[in-house]
């Protein structure tokens, strides 16, 4: 019985150490996602743009057509208005695989949701969103 408890204890300690090591990475990715979410909510294009690698892409469907927009163009469309939007945001989940990660975000407006799926890469300048796809879901009436 003691060897089994020892093995379980070692496994638990290894998992705990790994979780602690990954906590900073998760926090760093949350920070980048919040640049996007909070910057967009508050009309702060400077904060908003800190989330993205300008060479990245945003893709989505419009009327059965796949649309492709550079993140540089997406950032340029976001004006620094300082006007707060009527929406709530949340980071649903983050998955990390070395220097690559994905994040699922939800932005809720009064009549619809945006479901954003972000791909992130850790660069020499830190984590950056390099790809965004999204789906707009109307709320049920």
For 66, the 3-state DSSP assignment is strand
CB 120 within 8 A of CB 127: yes
Residues shown for the chain: 141
Q: Measure the N-to-C terminal CA separation of the chain; round to a whole number of Å.
A: 58
- Residue bearing tokens 């979780």: 19
**CB-based contacts of 83: which residues, under 8 Å, 6+ apart?**
43
CB 29 within 8 A of CB 35: no
Tell me the pLDDT of the chain (141 aa) as tens digits: 555 554 555 444 444 434 443 899 999 999 999 999 999 999 999 999 999 999 999 999 999 999 999 998 988 888 788 889 999 999 999 999 999 999 999 999 999 999 999 999 999 999 999 999 999 999 997
- Residue bearing tokens 């619809």: 112
The DSSP call for residue 50 is T
- Alpha-carbon distance of 138 to 74, in angstroms, equals 22
């Amino acid at each position: 019985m003691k060897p089994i408890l020892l093995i379980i204890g070692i496994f638990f300690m290894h998992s705990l150490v790994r979780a602690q090591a990954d906590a900073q990475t998760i926090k760093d990715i949350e920070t980048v996602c919040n640049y996007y979410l909070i910057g967009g909510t508050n009309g702060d294009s400077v904060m908003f743009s800190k989330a993205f690698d300008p060479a990245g892409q945003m893709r989505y469907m419009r009327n059965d057509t796949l649309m492709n927009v550079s993140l540089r163009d997406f950032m340029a469309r976001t004006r620094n208005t300082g006007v707060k939007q009527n929406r709530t945001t949340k980071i649903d989940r983050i998955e990390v695989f070395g220097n690559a990660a994905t994040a699922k975000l939800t932005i809720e407006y009064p009549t619809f949701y945006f479901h954003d799926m972000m791909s992130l890469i850790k660069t020499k300048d830190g984590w950056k969103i390099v790809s965004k796809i999204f789906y707009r879901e109307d709320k049920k009436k």
